Chain A
Amino acid sequence: MIQPAQPELVTVFIDGQEIAVPKGTNVIEAARMVGTDVPHYCYHPKLSIAGNCRMCLIELGMPMTDRATREPIMDEATGKQKINWIPRPQIGCGTTVAPGMHVKTQSPMVKECREGVMEFLLINHPLDCPICDQAGECKLQEQATGYGRGYSRFIEQKNVKPKRTRLGPRVTLDDERCVLCSRCIRFTQEVAKDDVLGFVDRGSYSTLTCYPGKELENNYSLNTVDICPVGALTSTDFRFKMRVWFLKQTNSICPESSVGVNTVVWSREGVIYRITPRRNDEVNDTWMPDSGRVLYKEVQAENRLQPTGDPASDLLATATRLLQGGAVAVVGSGRSSLEEQFLTAKLARQLHAATFVVGRTGAGDGILISADRNPNTRGALVTGLISEVPGDLAALGREIDAGKVKTVVSVGEDLSAAGLTAEQLAKVAIVYLGSHANATSAAAQVVFPTLTVFEKSGSFINQQFRLQKFASAVPGLTGATDDRVVLDQLVTAVGGESAGSDLVSVWRELAAGIPGLADLTYAKIPDTGLLLADDTWSQLTFPEGESLHHQPAAAETTA
């Protein structure tokens, strides 16, 4: 692993507390490091500084020096250098630390500034928290408890602005709730590179709107909902579905592509309501594509594979008979977790079967969707399931045509979608593990209904060779079995040794069997992932191009 360079440190004093922070840090972040929250609306760590909400005003002072001699001016009473406090409050977001800087975040002046801004933000706000979707995760609500007046001095008519505006296919806007922080505008300009949002009109009548004739329809539009500090931008899918304080949050990884976007899955009583990004500065910052947010719908999809009613032992017996017949090929998946791939490889070894993985590519968007649409191609390499970058199943087709393969085990892969013909499928017996019905499950002799990524725990290795774990957010479908359990049972049934299918046991095997994972356990994987050495596969050509926080190895050498 490569150690990041040590940043140059600057010593500052936040409310008298001394701390060394990296050069270039702003006051809000510096205060965060001493555990002090500087309230803000427009500031976002991953966007440019706008400085418009004025909520983060702080008092700033610099050590006094003599102008002529540059000698420090000392305070005789304390023996310390005198501090020259700037009479005007300064914005914390736009103020970069300087050596010896003093900051007051709790002074009467700062409190008064915050109270003033809060009052201003609320005078034209509809105060409709009871019917607002943002309630419970609203910065305006949060800061109002600390700096709100509790009653209103405003007896005039409030401004009237557009409500329930369709900003795009997935985003609904309530302009009356907008605090005009411009986070969404900056996001569409700077991250999504789709400059469609802007303010029209001026003063207090300023209104967020879309460029005439256009819509906010890019695949990152829902990030504007995430970063909207108030209830102005809401998700059309999620709004009015559930109060956020009822929801359970589970850390997960988006299976959409090999980027491995870190996510939070929000659920209640076994039902998922939404998926939002989870901050990981090495992978996805604080963003995720819209397309990844709807994947939870597969959990309750109509084509979920339901248990047939046959006893599980019958399924296992049939599958065992087929596998013991020999001439088996195993089709693993780049969508399976590392743990599942390991067990798939173990099964294949036990059966002396050839292994295949279905490659799945599409155009990368240069941001958070990569060309490799398998979230865990690297896992298949690390577990030894395959040794090359996966492609199609042409080789398997030839072997079926030649009669060399009689039985195919498919772990979640639709073989016909991967290129095998109906004739080829008819020639072989199929053992299928999967969560959703497709042509392969229909043609299969044995079908094990298994779980979606939201119902099970495991890990993926993304395009950076970063090992990242996800946890089960909701209980699995009744009668469906975790892939790990099925694979482990099959291994045992064909004469292999089981070390247990639970995560602890599988990781004991993984750590013992794979040098790159030695000493690791599932619990030890940090929430933001662990970068693995990738030298073994440096000769391979992967399909990914450049994306956020990822430079393909080939590009590095040519650049």
Chain B
Amino acid sequence: MPAPAERRIIFKHIDEEGYSNDLACYQKHGGYQVLQKALTARPEDIREDVKKSGLRGRGGAGFSCGLKWSFVDRKSGKPIYLVVNADESEPGTFKDRYIIHQDPHQLIEGTMISCFANDVKQAYIYIRGEFPEGARILERAIQEARDAGFVGRNICGTDYSCDIFVHRGAGAYICGEETGLIESLEGKRANPRIKPPYFPAVLGLYQCPTIVNNVETLCHVKHILDMGPDEYLKIGTPNNTGTRIFCVSGHVKKPGYYEYACGEITMGQLLYDVCGGPREGREFKAVIPGGSSAKILRFGETFTLKNQDGSERVLKVEDIPLDFDTLAACGTMGGSGGVIVMDDSVNMVEALANINAFYAHESCGQCTPCREGSLWMKKISSRMVHGEAREEDGELIKSVADQIAGRTICAFGEACSWPTQSFVLKFGDEFKAYNEDKKTKSADRLELV
């Protein structure tokens, strides 16, 4: 079956001839009209609309946005903060950066609507330190919006006031974890907080109720209000509404970002029809569907899933519809939408060595399993690729990962152990035979990050 047409909502105007990231262009395309409309509504109605739309977070966990907002402690008497998580750091993910570069006002409008809906008087955009250009663009765009009365005091002439500050990170993956981000925003080392008691919705930024949302998620809020939740619900599949931006990288002919209705396109359609299939003379070997921390899928493996009526269906990797729930049922996740494709030129031990080097470098070091385990895994996998692999190393490295997942303060424990667990589980033969393979197949010296 050929792939359906792209359904561009977030990227509607991006890449259009003549579309620029300044306010005039944004307004010419209907910008800030939704904000003006929203300001006439009751905040609780907007929250209800977002809940009804089924919007799920686009940062990685896919948690219901409406539900997240409903947890906010609105009776504490403390100010409520909204923090935009623009610390896009998951390897393989490059959608938020693109939104910020190409269409910053869309983010600002979505943010302001969300602020109004949640009675927020101060919002922060926490942008990754490696995005200096993005930070400059946002600063300029916010100033434009402020001058035009869309941000700051008395927005659009109403008595609602809310400002946005841009805060730049200093280059750490863990700052994308919401409580680590909050610590960093407070000027501290980004050690994630323990939950309980520090749930951001109750004890977040400066111990006040705080909402942390991903860039893409907040952009969706604007479109939900624009088309109405009922209309939005029609996009995608039940419980997996709206569109998703897939950032496809790796061994396909046409890597890039593609926006599709959630669950309406399968992995096969995306990789073969949309991205042009594997390179000449190569075959797909594996794909990581949601950023490097998501569990890898091996081409050729099958998944037996239960249908709602109790019957079973068997899916190949190519058949998996790209939504939140099916990917989760297949033991992986939609995550941040970073689809990383590997063909048969890739040795999985070497690929894992690269991923492990990244996570060992990014562990904050606060809690024992992740701190010690991530570096141990890196040490094992780099030793393997440097000529000292042992047959038992695959099992060893997996057992280290098993001792991390589920036992840490934040989700980094899973992020760093899922790649190892899934690589060894699905490509155990390669781990066993790595040393032998190296002798027979000459490989270039691998430089690790």
Which B positions have Cβ atoms within 8 angstroms of A? 172, 189, 194, 196-197, 360-369, 371-376, 379-380, 383, 396, 403-404, 406-409
Contacts and interface: CB of A to CB of B under 8 A. Distances in A.
Contacts of B409: 51-52
B387 to A, nearest CB: 14
A405 to B, nearest CB: 64
25 contacts: A51-B194, A54-B367, A54-B407, A88-B406, A91-B194, A94-B194, A116-B369, A117-B368, A119-B403, A120-B369, A120-B371, A121-B372, A156-B380, A198-B189, A199-B365, A202-B361, A202-B362, A203-B362, A203-B365, A204-B360, A204-B372, A204-B375, A204-B376, A206-B366, A206-B371
A497 B63 CA distance: 85
Contacts of A55: 368
Contacts of A123: 372, 376
Given A49-B194, A156-B380, A203 B407 contact: no
A9 interface: no
A94 B197 CA distance: 8
B365 A201 contact: yes
Nearest to A158: B379
Given A116-B403, A153-B396, A202-B172, A51 B367 contact: yes
A120 B373 CA distance: 7
A64 interface: no
A203 B363 contact: yes
Contacts of A54: 367-369, 407-408
Nearest to A157: B379
Contacts of B408: 54
A209 to B, nearest CB: 13
A199 B404 CA distance: 22
A20 interface: no
B381 to A, nearest CB: 11
Contacts, number: 95
A120 B363 CA distance: 14
A449 B375 CA distance: 63
B372 A124 contact: yes
Interface of A: 49-55, 57, 87-89, 91, 94-96, 113, 116-117, 119-121, 123-124, 153-154, 156-157, 159, 179-180, 198-199, 201-206
A95 B360 CA distance: 29
A87 B362 CA distance: 27
Contact of B376 (A94, A154, A199): A154
Nearest to B365: A206
A199 B365 CA distance: 9
Given A156-B383, A199-B189, A204 B194 contact: no
Nearest to B409: A51
A179 B375 CA distance: 15
- In order of increasing CB-CB distance, the 5 nearest A-B pairs are A116-B403, A206-B365, A120-B372, A156-B379, A204-B375
Contacts of B380: 156
B368 to A, nearest CB: 5
A246 to B, nearest CB: 32
A88 B404 CA distance: 12
B308 to A, nearest CB: 21
Contacts of A201: 365
A119 B368 CA distance: 10
A94 B362 CA distance: 25
B379 A52 contact: no
A204 B363 contact: yes
Contacts of A53: 367-368
Contacts of A157: 379
Given A51-B409, A123-B376, 8 more contacts: A52-B366, A54-B408, A117-B368, A120-B373, A121-B372, A201-B365, A202-B361, A203-B361
Q: Which one of B172, B364, B376 has the highest number of Cβ atoms from chain A below 10 Å of its Cβ?
A: B376
Contact of B375 (A51, A89, A203): A203
Contacts of B379: 156-157
Given A153-B396, A156-B379, A156-B383, A204 B367 contact: no
B111 to A, nearest CB: 30
A91 B189 CA distance: 22
A190 B376 CA distance: 33
Contacts of B406: 87-89
Nearest to A202: B365
Contact of B365 (A50, A96, A154, A205): A205
